[in-house]
Structure 1
Amino acid sequence: MSVSKIGVIGAGTIGRGVAQSLAQSSFEVVLVDIAESQLVSARSQMERDLRMQGLFRAEKLADDAETILGRITTSTEPEALADVDFVVENVTENWDVKREVYETIDKICRPGVVFAVNTSAVPITRVASVTERPAEVLGLHFMNPVPLMDTVEVVRGYFTSDETLAVAMGLLDATSKEGIVVQDAPGFVTNRVLMLTINEAVFCVQDQVATAEDVDRMFKGCFGHKMGPLETGDLIGLDTILNSLTVMYESFKDSKYRPAPLLQKMVDAKLLGRKTSQGFYTY
């Protein structure tokens, strides 16, 4: 299957990163979001990010920012996805929201179009089950910031076909990203481990074992991590951390995934990290 036009659903931090990364690799992109203001904000942020990459990356961009952004069209209507060859969905980690998205686009996109679920915890097989194309559904878990991260967690659901996997791996190869295939289980590999680490770090702050700064300093100084777990949580978004933990807690029925009360309190207070300028740190 030839892929040249890709639909990207959701213009938040990850969605706009996916759109930018695909456009940098010469794909035509249709970026869809329910809010026009979010699309305007996403385009402005992509322009800033591209100009910064052009200034500071050792490897210069093949095209200028204007050319790359010219490959991205935006829309608030899902019908704009009618002629795409591949879809990457990036909406919130909420099953009710995701289900509605897939039930809608399954009727709009032509048969054979692959649906890639960009999720950190929602089971791919569950998503596939609400479509009429379960063999064409898989997970592509992109990491933030998408244009700068070279590896993607590729999740094979129960129904995912070899052909679908090959199309997705070919797409990643065209964007100079390596796909690592894992099997479908809540949290997969990256978030099954990472979310527990971040959550336990939150418990350490909550229980006054150490400050957020000292927790992160130890992970960077003792283990050589580029970022500590709480800095990572702020980058991902504390609401996303909470949603991911909640999905795994409900899926595994295991108390080790119980979100820290401090995490819930910060999300309730809209202290979500970098995207709100305040989380465990001020930005």
Structure 2
Amino acid sequence: MVTSITSVAVVGAGYMGGGIAQSFALAGLPVTIADASADATQAAYERLLAESQEFEDEGLYDAGATEAIRGNLRTAASIEEAVADVDFVEEAVFESVEVKHDVLGRISAAARPDAIIGSNTSTIPARVLATAVTNPERFLTVHFSNPAPFIPGVELVPSESTDPAVVPVVRELLGKADRQGALVADVPGFVLNRLQYVLLKEAMSIAEEGIASPEDIDTVVRTTFGFRLGFFGPFAIADQAGLDVYAGGFRTFEENFGERLATPRLVQEAVENDRKGVKNGKGLTKDYTPEEVKALVAYRNKAYSEMGRLLRTLGPSPA
């Protein structure tokens, strides 16, 4: 298995695959793209360069980004040609087991035996796709989010066959492109979509019950806890609010909504062990020194102030 990735192929150069290819090319990595046909690949190449120039003109990419991408991005006439001599292949074709199996079979037959293979699937378990890959110990899900050129988080989902040594190699690759990899178990929905769908389900229930309109629910989400989520995840937010406060809130929810909103075991055990979060320096996942608490509060205040300033500058969403 390769121990450092210096060249990439992306198979499937549509909206997601193209954005992934842009990101790696912009990071200075040589990237080869291949799509369903040579004509489709060439059309995707031209679209990606035009799109990159638009991003650069709008200030979303730094000056010179398009030329950097042009210098690192190339096309191949076939999947086999694209993957023949690269360290890492990212599959980003249509979200169908049958289609992905066919493409992953072709990739693994043509790629070097030591090349790492990733899939950008957002829903299909890695163990299902791994069956199509020769030497499945080199395969894992590498799930980028939409839009790929701008969203920094990437889910890394090994199957039961994946060699654990593959994960840090892919993390290092993502770091070159200013992306952050999060290790996730191979379960349906992974983490991103499980959380995202649960939020949407509860939001829709609130609307259906007549508690608030969809517009007002969106306002609550984006201007309150959603405002924080660009800087802190739910565990960090809970630590800052106070775990004993959360435990009390969950008691109220359980009394009114039943078992589905009962106090989570992690919160209950934390409070039983006098772990209240930042207020006493003992959080869900770590302890905080007084100096760390002071620095955290200062960072939080600056982050929220800057977020508010950014939103005022951008103005409301056009839709």
TM-score by length of 2: 0.63
- Return the letter of the residue paired with 1:167: V
Question: CA, structure 1 residues 46+206, in 2 after alignment: closer, same or farther (shift >3 Å)?
Answer: farther
CA 1:210–1:101 in 2, change beyond 3 Å: closer, same or farther? Answer: farther
Native 8 Å contact 2:25 2:68 kept in 1: no
- Asked which structure has the greater RCO (Cα within 8 Å, sep 6+), the reply is 1
The amino acid that maps onto 2:78 is E
- After superposition, the Cα gap between the structure-2 partners of 1:138 and 1:180, relative to the gap in structure 1 and judged at 3 Å, is same
RMSD: 3.1
2:203 & 2:105 partners in 1: Cα distance?
37
Deviations 1:211-230 (A, max 9, x none): 76555334324543599xxx
Give the letter for the 1:67 counterpart.
A
Cα pair 2:37 2:78 within 8 Å, conserved: no
Bigger radius of gyration: 2
The 2-side partners of 1:168 and 1:110 are apart by 17
> What's the TM-score, normalizing by structure 1?
0.70
Distance 1:194 1:208, change over 3 A: same
Q: Cα deviation per residue 1:65-104 (whole Å; 9 max; x = unaligned)?
A: 1232231112351121211211001112111111111111
Identity %: 31
Q: Which moved more, 1:133-142 or 1:33-42?
A: 33-42
- Residues 51 and 282 of structure 1, relative CA distance in 2, 3 Å threshold: same
1:54: which partner in 2?
56
User: Which consecutive residues of structure 2, in runs of 5 or more, have no partner in the other structure?
Assistant: 230-316
> Of 129, 154, 161, which aligns to 1:159?
161
Counterparts in 2 of 1:183-202, with a 5 A limit?
183-198=185-200
The residue matched to 2:36 in structure 1 has which SS? coil
- 1:202-221 to structure 2, matched below 5 A, reads 213-221=215-223
Whole-Å separation in 2 of the counterparts to 1:20 and 1:152: 15
Contact in 2 for aligned 1:112/1:133 (Cα 8 Å): no
Query: How far apart are 1:159 and its partner, in Å?
Result: 1.2
Pairing 1:22–2:24 present: yes
Superposed CA deviations along residues 147-171 of structure 1, whole A, max 9, x for unmatched, are 2222211112111112211211111
Structure 1 residues 21 and 4, CA, compared in 2 at 3 Å: closer, same or farther?
same
* 1:89 matched residue in structure 2: 91
Q: Tell me, which stretches of 5 or more residues in structure 1 are unaligned?
A: 228-280
* C-alpha distance in structure 2 between counterparts of 1:180 and 1:157, whole Å: 15
Q: Distance in 1 between matches of 2:89 and 2:100?
A: 13
- Aligned partners of 1:7 and 1:84 also within 8 Å: yes
